Amino acid sequence: MSLSDIMSHENLSLLPQAALVIFLLVFAAVAVRTFWGHSDADHEDAARMPLTDDAPSLSRD
C-alpha cells in the first residue's frame, strides 16, 4: 500500500474548514486584544517607544 493510496481514501474536506475556524478565532482574539481595554495613553506611549533614547544599547563586542 503506497502513500498515494492511503491519501486518496482519506476524507480531507474537513481540514480547510478547521483551518478557517482557527484563523477566525485567532483574528478575533487579536482584534479584541488590540482595540479593547487599552486607553489612549497606552497607545501613545507605545507609539513613542521607538523615539525614546531610554533603552539600553546592545553592543556585540
Please say if the pLDDT value at position 5 is more than 70: yes
> Whole-angstrom Cα distance, residue 22 to residue 24?
6
User: What is residue 57's predicted lDDT score, i.e. its pLDDT?
Assistant: 56
Q: What is the pTM of this model?
A: 0.52
Mean pLDDT, rounded, of the chain: 81
Per-domain boundaries in the chain: 21-45
Dig out the grid coordinates for 3 from the structure: 502513500
Choice between 21 and 47, residue whose per-residue pLDDT is larger: 21
Alpha-carbon distance 21 to 29, whole Å? 12
Q: What is the CA radius of gyration of the chain?
A: 23
